[in-house]
Each structure stands twice: as C-alpha cells, then as structure tokens.
C-alpha cells in the first residue's frame, strides 16, 4: 500500500462527503439536529433522564448512520469498483481510504455533538479528559459501521437498495444500543448489538469511571467486533469487486 496514494484517496473521499448535500446532511447537520432536539425534548428529570444520560445515545446514533452513507457510497461507485483491477489503485488502498476517512467523519460527528451538548448544559463528571478518551473509543466503533456498510453494499444492486438494507443494521442499534429503556428481555437482545457496548462505555467514561472493569470489557468487545466486521466486509468486497 503506497502512503501517497492512500492519502490522495482519503482527500478524495472527504471532499466527496462534503460536496454531496445528502452526505453533508447525514454526517454533520443530522447529528447536530438530533443533539438539539433530543436534549431539549428528553433531558427532563421528570422523564427520569438527564442531559448526561442522553449524550452517549446521541453519539451512538451519529456513528451508526455511517453504515448508510458507506453503503450508499460503495453502491454508487459500483462501476468504479469493478474497474479497480485495471487501475493503479489497489483494493487495500481503496478500503484503507474508506476506513480512515469515515473514522475522521465519526470523530467530527462526535465533536459536533459534544460542542452542542456542552452549550446546552452537558457537563460530564469525567471532565474534559473523559471527552478526549471518548474519541478513540468512538473511532474504533466506527470500524464496525464501515464494515457493515461494506456488507450492505455487497448485496445491494443500487444505492437505493443499499440505503434500505442499511436500516437492517441501523434500527436494532437505535432501539437496543442507545438510551431507549430496556426491559429484562430486551436487555438480553442488547447483548448482541455492538452499539450497546459503546453506549455503556461512554456512560462509564462520562461518569469518570473508565478504570472500571466493565469499561475494559466494553472496549474489548467493541474492538473485537469491529475488527471481525471490517474483516468480513473486506472479504465480501473482494468478491464483489470481481463480479
């Protein structure tokens, strides 16, 4: 993998994310809108929720929607991917650019959420150090979203189909991996949802409790699942490229 080619591809991907109105909305404006609406609506002590309990869920919301944008992007570039073997660009460089650029997007999304949440009264007990620690944890989790986006694009015939199928991965994480109330039965389901572990890890970070063993377990699960999903997505991508 040539570093110059990888950097050039990353720049292209980031420019694409900014120039396309839909991607710009989903990656930046949507998280900002969600932050304001959810904090104003749900961070009410009478509802049993504080602003500090809402923010971790908002972070999960923002990152899991990368699944849709990645799937749509790969499906839109279907012809390009099929011609990949006839160009100097290698599959490792292309996938690497997707991974890095989307991890950057995930970090930017989280920063947007944190800044707006702070302006609206978010004050984590873990302080500023907790917010800094949350960034690499989110970046690791973003790998799973990129991987699931790759999987979705592989089985999709067009961008529209990719968007629809991506919600098969997004919706379970929305309902079982964020601040939605969980019953005893849905708690068992949540154990199989990657977003649940990010949500739990962020709660512990913001509580200043990142030395807790549960945080280390959450981080381990997030890391292992993200690596496995991205690996599986790459394998399918290679097969998809040769079709």
Q: What is the pLDDT of residues 54-82, one digit of tens each?
A: 888 889 988 998 898 888 877 776 555 55
According to the model, what pLDDT value does residue 40 have?
80
According to the model, what pLDDT value does residue 181 have?
63
Indicate the burial class of 242 (C-beta count within 10 angstroms; 0-12, 13-18, 19 or more): exposed
Mean pLDDT over all residues of the chain? 80
Tokens of 52: 């500090």
Short-list 60, 201, 66, CA closest to 147: 66
Phi, psi of 88 (to 5 degrees): -65, -20
Name the H helices within 2-126: 3-19, 21-24, 30-42, 51-64, 66-76, 78-82, 91-119
Short-list 207, 63, 225, CA closest to 139: 63
Per residue of the chain (243 residues), what is the pLDDT tens digit? 556 666 776 777 677 666 666 666 767 777 888 888 888 877 666 666 678 878 888 899 889 988 988 888 777 765 555 555 555 666 667 777 778 888 888 888 889 899 999 898 888 888 888 889 999 999 999 999 988 988 888 888 788 888 889 999 998 888 876 766 666 777 778 888 889 999 999 999 998 888 889 999 999 999 999 999 988 888 877 776 555
Chain-centroid distance of CA 153 in Å reads 16
According to the model, what pLDDT value does residue 20 have?
66
């Amino acid at each position: 993998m040539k570093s110059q080619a990888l950097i050039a591809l990353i720049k292209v991907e980031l420019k694409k994310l900014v120039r396309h109105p839909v991607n710009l909305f989903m990656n930046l404006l949507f998280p900002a809108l969600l932050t304001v609406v959810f904090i104003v609506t749900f961070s009410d002590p009478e509802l049993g929720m504080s602003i500090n309990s809402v923010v971790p869920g908002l972070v999960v919301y923002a990152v899991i929607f990368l699944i849709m944008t990645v799937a749509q992007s790969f499906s839109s570039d279907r012809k390009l991917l099929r011609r990949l073997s006839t160009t100097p660009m290698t599959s490792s460089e292309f996938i690497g650019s997707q991974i890095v650029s989307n991890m950057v997007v995930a970090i930017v999304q989280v920063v947007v959420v944190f800044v707006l949440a702070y302006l609206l009264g978010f004050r984590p007990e873990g302080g500023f150090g907790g917010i800094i620690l949350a960034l690499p944890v989110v970046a690791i989790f973003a790998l799973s979203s990129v991987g699931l986006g790759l999987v979705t694009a592989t089985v999709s015939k067009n961008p529209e189909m990719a968007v629809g199928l991506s919600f098969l991965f997004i919706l379970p994480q929305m309902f079982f991996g964020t601040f939605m109330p969980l019953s005893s039965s849905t708690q068992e389901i949540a154990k199989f949802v990657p977003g649940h572990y990010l949500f739990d890890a962020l709660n512990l970070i913001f509580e200043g409790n990142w030395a807790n063993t549960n945080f280390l377990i959450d981080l381990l699960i997030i890391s292992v699942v993200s690596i496995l999903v991205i690996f599986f997505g790459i394998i399918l991508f290679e097969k998809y490229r040769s079709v």
